[in-house]
Amino acid sequence: MACIRLKENWEFNGESTYRHVNTHLPNYARPRFIRIKSAIELTATFKYRKVQLVEEGFNPAVIKDRLYFLDDKENLYVQMTQDMYNSVKNHVFKL
């Protein structure tokens, strides 16, 4: 998973992000999930606060941020739904 903050007045484009990731990263390094946050929290020593993000995982019922999933069949990042999450958790859809 990658957690990113967009520049002000920018929108996430799943198709162009997929093309960029597919062109510049090997298959094993491509993020399966992209989480869009309005602000990235820092610790007192200016490190990114990651523990909470790991604990929340990729469950759209828990995460209030926008969450996108890499769909190799459609060649784009699509917004994660509860149905997609359930399919992954129940091993119907394999990552």
In the prediction, which pLDDT does 39 show? 78
pLDDT 10s digits, 59-78: 888 888 899 999 888 899 99
For 14, other C-beta atoms within 10 Å of its C-beta total: 18
Query: Structural domain tally of the chain?
Result: 1
Rounded to two decimals, the pTM is 0.81
Give the phi and the psi of residue 4 in degrees, each rounded to 5: -130, 160
Asked if residue 61 belongs to a domain, the reply is: yes
- For 60, residues 6+ apart whose C-beta sits below 8 A from its C-beta are 67, 80, 81, 82, 85
The per-residue pLDDT of the chain, averaged, comes to: 87
Asked if residue 95 belongs to a domain, the reply is: no
The answer to whether 36 and 60 are in contact (CB under 8 A) is no
Beta strand pairing call for 33-36 and 2-4:
parallel
Is residue 89 scored above 80 in pLDDT? Answer: yes
Domain holding 74, by residue range, is 2-90
Asked if residue 7 belongs to a domain, the reply is: yes
Asked if residue 12 belongs to a domain, the reply is: yes
Range 32-51 average pLDDT = 80
Asked if residue 44 belongs to a domain, the reply is: yes
